[in-house]
Amino acid sequence: MNSSFAPTERRLAVTCERHPAFPREPAVLVRLIKHIYKVVHDDANAVLKPFGLNHPEYNLLMMMYGTPSGEMTPSDLADAAGEKSANITRLTNQLCEKGLIHRKGSNDDRRKVVLTLTPGGEALIESFLPEICGLLGRQTGKLGADDQRQLERLLKKMLDGLTD
């Protein structure tokens, strides 16, 4: 086990001693996910810093990049990125100020706002994608293809159980 997770495991052992009904295995899984998120977030921030981005901004750009039309409403973007609407407003303001996305009124409904990537935003994404591909490879390097598929299936199953 990763030594950075060992203190958490020791605390869980103490908790289980103090409260024998405490569900150790689910607690380990949830805490591992949180721990993994922190490492992934920190690694991504380090890779993205030279590009003038942080991990949440990257996530929004990638959600838009992966949308066939290239445009999304702020609420669709919030859902796709797993962000709260207040964060979406702050993050999209930052991305607009950087000239990476553009806000405009919807052609279908003037009350709606539509976000689109600018040519500069698309160019920036294309410039950092090789670095991100390398990062993703390093982050999953100890898992073979079968392990990755199994972990994906299990995490999706867990997520489905959380959102039912």
Three-class SS state of 110: coil
**Residue 97 CA: distances (Å) to CA of 25, 113, 117, 141:** 45, 17, 13, 36
Summarised one tens digit per residue, pLDDT across range 75-116 is: 999 999 999 988 999 999 999 999 999 998 877 777 789 999
Q: What is the pLDDT of residue 112?
A: 86
**Where are the chain's structural domains?**
6-163
Summarised one tens digit per residue, pLDDT across range 35-89 is: 999 999 999 999 999 999 999 999 999 999 999 988 899 999 999 999 998 899 9
Residue pair 113/105 in contact by the 8 Å Cβ criterion: yes
Distance CA 39, CA 134 (A): 16
Q: Strand (E) positions, the chain?
A: 71-72, 101-105, 113-117
CATH of 6-163, one of 3.40.190.10, 1.10.10.10, 3.30.559.10, 3.30.465.10: 1.10.10.10
Report residue 105: phi and psi, to 5°: -75, 150
Summarised one tens digit per residue, pLDDT across range 15-29 is: 999 999 999 999 999
Q: Which residue type, as a one-letter code, is found at position 103?
A: R
Report residue 117: phi and psi, to 5°: -75, 140
Distance CA 102, CA 115 (A): 6
Residues shown for the chain: 164
Q: What is the pLDDT of residue 24?
A: 94
